[in-house]
Amino acid sequence: MKKIGITGGIGAGKTAVTDHLQERGYIVIDTDQMSRDMTAPGGKAIPYIREKFGDDLIDETGAMNRKKMRDIVFRDSKKLALLEQGTTMVLIEDLKKLSHELELKGNRVVFYAIPLLFEIGSSMEYDATWLVTADDETRIRRVMKRDGVDRENVIRIMKKQMPEEEKKKLASDVIVNDGDLESLRRQVDELLSKYGLSN
What is the C-alpha to C-alpha distance for residues 162 and 68, in angstroms, rounded to an integer? 23
Q: Is residue 90 domain-resident?
A: no
What is the C-alpha to C-alpha distance for residues 179 and 107, in angstroms, rounded to an integer? 32
Number of domains in the chain: 1
Q: Is residue 198 domain-resident?
A: no
List per-residue pLDDT tens for the chain, 199 residues long. 999 999 999 999 999 999 999 999 999 999 988 989 999 999 999 999 999 999 999 999 999 998 899 889 878 889 988 998 888 888 888 888 999 999 999 999 999 999 888 887 776 789 999 999 999 999 999 999 998 888 988 898 888 888 999 999 999 999 999 989 999 999 999 999 999 987 6
Please answer whether residues 10 and 143 qualify as being in contact, where contact means their C-beta atoms are separated by less than 8 angstroms: yes
Q: Is residue 180 domain-resident?
A: yes
* This prediction's pTM: 0.83
Q: Is residue 94 domain-resident?
A: no
Q: Is residue 56 domain-resident?
A: no
Q: Is residue 30 domain-resident?
A: yes
Q: Is residue 49 domain-resident?
A: no
Please answer whether residues 30 and 38 qualify as being in contact, where contact means their C-beta atoms are separated by less than 8 angstroms: no
Structural domain that includes position 142: 2-36+108-192
What CATH number does the domain containing 144 carry?
3.40.50.300
Report pLDDT for 199.
67
Please answer whether residues 181 and 19 qualify as being in contact, where contact means their C-beta atoms are separated by less than 8 angstroms: no
Report pLDDT for 181.
92
Q: Is residue 152 domain-resident?
A: yes
Report pLDDT for 194.
95
